[in-house]
Structure 1
């Protein structure tokens, strides 16, 4: 019997979305709860069909910005491990933290400890000309992972204007991901792509299985590139980027393709 495919899949805005983005109807299914136990995210009927197909057909590994605690609030049975916190934490199939990956992360984080301590206050200062934000450091497994800034008012969006003020030291050691009114500054060693590469090498070293991936945002492109096949939801950030750049490429050259 051929082994089941191994599928790495992003969660938020790939398998479900918050009620703010898609007001639920009786046909929606609750997918996640917030920290107070209230429904937060829902699956559309098509997403329910897709998720059922994935879980029945493959060993599914969520690859998510959610912390381990946030993943535990997802009402889907992921039984084969997970990549959490943008790649800062890997869970094995027994849901225990992979200690080898954790040691790699802690060693790298120790070298940026001072920088990670300073970032939340720096971002608050940089935001003053534009609007009000709140910031925090994402911590897990006894260590700092990355820094988050979130606008207190969802519009107008201004977080991208703060990036120009970041010190060269930050951009040397970190990368920035913006999704609407959320901004994350992540050390380069915290990476969905690097975590998925580690997961494959450790838990599927012979590469005998077909590996598939799904994700919605530009930050997912790295880990999707680790897969034999990958896809994205229609009208997602990644889909819109692809369509826009294909159109620009065609307009510039007059044809699709390369010679």
Structure 2
């Protein structure tokens, strides 16, 4: 058995804004809240998905999307699904895995004060930089605060990232960490996320898999990608941009 654990946005599909103008052969992959196509697979992404399907590869999404956002993904996932940055597991029948839910809530409970303090510490700064603050919950419990700029202004988001990282560094025992991409900056649990969920499924559901693949485009995907046998990343993503810019000596 081959199992592929894959990030979704900007890995298996992306919005039109991130695609070359006039690209043909696009396949709708998600719907917006208005019910209209929002994100699309390129011909290459569609070919990869078709190859997985025809080869019997078990494809498992690993995404920050919650259940409502995942319901707007139109790709035919039939196995397990990892949502909420790893804090929610959906079984193949679509139901929430209650054992994982119990474990997650046990881990989240001692982080509530730290999350609230970190959020409060930068709320004023977020307003100054024009960032919208959103508290995300999993299983009815706060697990992540996201700061998003309406124009994806890199300078404003960088200031938010630096402020959040400074706060987390001062309170390292808070159990939190900061992740960032082109659209937003988030603070969430350090030891509870995508990588832990992938390892859990590997151990409990796919212990006899002969090969596990990981697909992701962001630095925040590295944890779960390192939990698999081989990793695949698209060109132009945050991962390859970072490696390209690093200019590390070859040894």
| TM-score after normalising by structure 2 | 0.89
Matched, 1:189 2:191: yes
Residue 36 of structure 2 corresponds to 38
Residues 141-150 or 72-81, more deviating:
141-150
Structure 1 residue aligned with 2:227: 226
Q: Classify 1:61/1:174 alpha carbon distance in 2 versus 1 (closer, same or farther; 3 Å).
A: same
Instruction: Give the aligned partner of residue 49 of structure 1.
Output: 47
1:176-215 Cα deviation digits (max 9, x unpaired) = 111013111111233111110111111123x342111111
Q: Tell me, what secondary structure is at the counterpart of 2:5?
A: strand
Q: Which is higher, the Rg of structure 1 or of structure 2?
A: 1
- Structure 1 Cα separation of the partners of residues 211 and 34 of structure 2: 39
TM-score of the superposed pair, with normalisation by structure 1: 0.87
Among residues 6, 11, 14, which one is paired with 1:14 in the alignment?
Answer: 11
Distance, in Å, in 2 between the alignment partners of 1:186 and 1:103 is 18
> How do 1:127-206 and structure 2 match up within 5 A?
127-129=126-128, 131-166=129-164, 167=167, 168-169=170-171, 172-205=174-207
Report the counterpart of residue 122 of structure 1 in structure 2.
Answer: 121
Cα distance 1:98–1:229, how it changes in 2: closer, same or farther (>3 A)?
same
1:185 and 1:103 mapped to 2: Cα distance? 22
Further displaced range: 105-114 or 163-172:
163-172
* Counterpart-to-counterpart distance in 1, 2:173 and 2:163: 10
Are 2:219 and 2:238, in contact at CA under 8 Å, matched by a contact in 1? yes
Task: Give the secondary structure class of the aligned counterpart of 1:157.
Answer: helix
How far 1:171 sits from its partner (Å)?
Answer: 7.3
Work out whether residues 82 and 90 of structure 1, in 8 Å CA contact, stay in contact via their aligned partners in 2: yes
How big is the shift at 1:9? Answer: 0.7
Deviations 1:57-82 (A, max 9, x none): 20000011111221111111111111
Q: Offset of 1:26 from its aligned partner?
A: 4.8
Q: What is the CA–CA distance in structure 1 between the aligned matches of 2:138 and 2:94, rounded to whole Å?
A: 15
Distance, in Å, in 1 between the alignment partners of 2:6 and 2:191 is 20
> CA RMSD of the aligned region, Å?
2.0
Residue 243 (structure 2) aligns with? 242
1:189 partner SS: coil
- Paired with 2:81 and 2:54, the residues of 1 have a C-alpha distance of 17
Residue 87 of structure 2 contacts residue 104 of structure 2 at CA under 8 Å; is this kept in 1? yes
Q: Report the more deviating stretch, 18-27 or 218-227.
A: 18-27
Q: Is the 8 A contact 1:10 1:220 kept in 2?
A: yes
Which whole-Å deviations, capped at 9, do the CAs of 1:209-257 have from their partners, x for residues lacking one?
A: 2111111111111111111111111121111222333xx223xxxxx33
In the alignment, the residues of structure 1 paired with residue 22 and residue 76 of structure 2 have an alpha-carbon distance, to the nearest angstrom, of: 22
> How far apart in 2 are the matches of 1:240 and 1:128?
29
Q: Residue 91 of structure 2 aligns with which residue?
A: 92
Tell me the residue number matched to 1:106: 105
CA spacing shift, 1:6–1:156, aligned 2, 3 Å? closer
